[in-house]
Amino acid sequence: MITVKGDEMEFENLKVETTNRIAVVTINRPEALNALNEQTLSELQTVFTDVNNNDGVRVVIVTGSGKKAFVAGADIVAMQQLSALDARRFSKLGHELMRSIETCSKPVIAAVNGFSLGGGCELALSCDVRIASENARFSQPEVSLGVIPGFGGTQRLARLIGKGRALELLLTGDMIDADEAYRIGMVNKVVPQEELLETAKSMATKIIGKGPFAVKLVKEAVCTGLEMDLDRANQYETELFGLCFASLDQKEGMLSFLEKRPANFVGQ
């Protein structure tokens, strides 16, 4: 159940805290290792719809409660008895969420603590950056259950680490540790468990110090450009580059550089 208290939303399966323009979204179903059921997907969708339009949020961090799991997968107990039509609807709900994260105007950092399996791995893949604790484990084990990934895993994993490596993981269902995930480019950093959230917040703070209008357009250029051929993508970058010069942030950023002082960006 989602309730509104003042200007903050309260959720049954999530904890959301915003401090210094960083929203930390914690999936909070420890009894199910933070598995994604339909309600959790819907609550996450509500959060990302809000933060996408919230000027008080500049970066989002997604993590899981406890030390054992980021998200141990989609909720198999809830999925077991689904009909084909219900399964398709559940998959569509997951896809809509992952796409909302991927296209969110704010950078999204996954702070992966512990198991990131199935739908949890797909959730991490939809984020812009992945920071893993040393005990993080990644897998797309769906073939062991007689199904395939349903929240974009067959598509985003291949785009991130390449077709061959992705197919190996998808076809075998093998689990890999944080160091192997880093080696193949699946995560950006591996840090000790106790440093995970602070590392994510440090990166978020660094991003917040940059021009917010440019940060937004960088994400748009990369995510949209990956869906185009190179010539069209480069032309798209050219258009966004020109658009920067109609912004107050560009004027302030270049003036502050010339005046050798910190920039005072306004996000416009």
**What digits encode the pLDDT tens for the residues 60-113?**
999 999 989 999 987 788 888 889 999 999 999 999 999 999 999 999 999 999
108 or 265, which is more confident? 108
| Confidence bin at 8 (pLDDT 50/70/90) | low
The per-residue pLDDT for 238 is 96
Q: What is the dihedral of CA 137, 141, 142, 144, to 10 degrees?
A: -150
* Alpha carbon distances (Å) from 232 to 147, 222, 237: 36, 12, 9
Q: How far is the C-alpha of 22 from the C-alpha of 2, rounded, in Å? A: 21
Confidence of residue 263 (pLDDT cuts 50, 70, 90): confident
Residue 258: exposure state from Cβ atoms within 10 A (0-12, 13-18, ≥19): exposed
Please tell me which residue in 31, 142, 195, 237 is annotated as part of the active site: 142
Which two three-digit tokens encode residue 64?
Answer: 């899981």
Cα of first residue to Cα of last residue in the chain, in angstroms, is 36
Structure confidence by residue, pLDDT tens digits, 142-164: 999 999 999 999 999 999 999 99
Q: What does the block give as tokens for 40?
A: 């959790």
How much is the pLDDT for 3?
A: 43
Residues 6+ apart with CB under 8 A from 174: 139, 168
What integer is the mean pLDDT of 43-64? 96
CATH class for the region spanning 212-258: mainly alpha
Domain assignments of the chain as residue spans, ordered by start = 3-208, 212-258
More confidently predicted of 8 and 246: 246
Question: Taking 50 as the threshold, does the pLDDT of residue 2 lie above it?
Answer: no
Active site residue 142: yes
Rounded Cα distance between 127 and 20, Å, is: 20
Q: Which residue has the higher pLDDT, 185 or 78?
A: 185
Task: Answer yes or no: is pLDDT of 1 > 50.
Answer: no
List the structure tokens of 41.
């997907």
Whether residue 54 is predicted with pLDDT greater than 50 in this model: the reply is yes
**Residue 96 among the catalytic residues:** no
Helical ranges in 70-195 per DSSP H:
76-79, 84-102, 119-126, 153-161, 163-172, 178-183
Q: Does domain 3-208 have CATH number 2.60.40.1180?
A: no
Q: Is the pLDDT of residue 235 over 90?
A: yes
Query: 8, 12, 122, 220: which is the annotated catalytic residue?
Result: 122
* pLDDT, tens only, 189-224: 999 999 999 999 999 999 999 999 999 999 999 999
On the question of pLDDT at 268 being above 80, the answer is no
Three-state DSSP class for residue 147: coil
Query: 245-262 pLDDT, tens per residue?
Result: 999 999 999 999 999 988
Rounded to the nearest integer, the mean pLDDT of the chain is 93
Which pLDDT score, from 0 to 100, does residue 116 have? 97
Question: Could you say which DSSP state residue 75 is in?
Answer: -
- Amino acid 80: pLDDT: 85
* pLDDT at 9 > cutoff 90: no
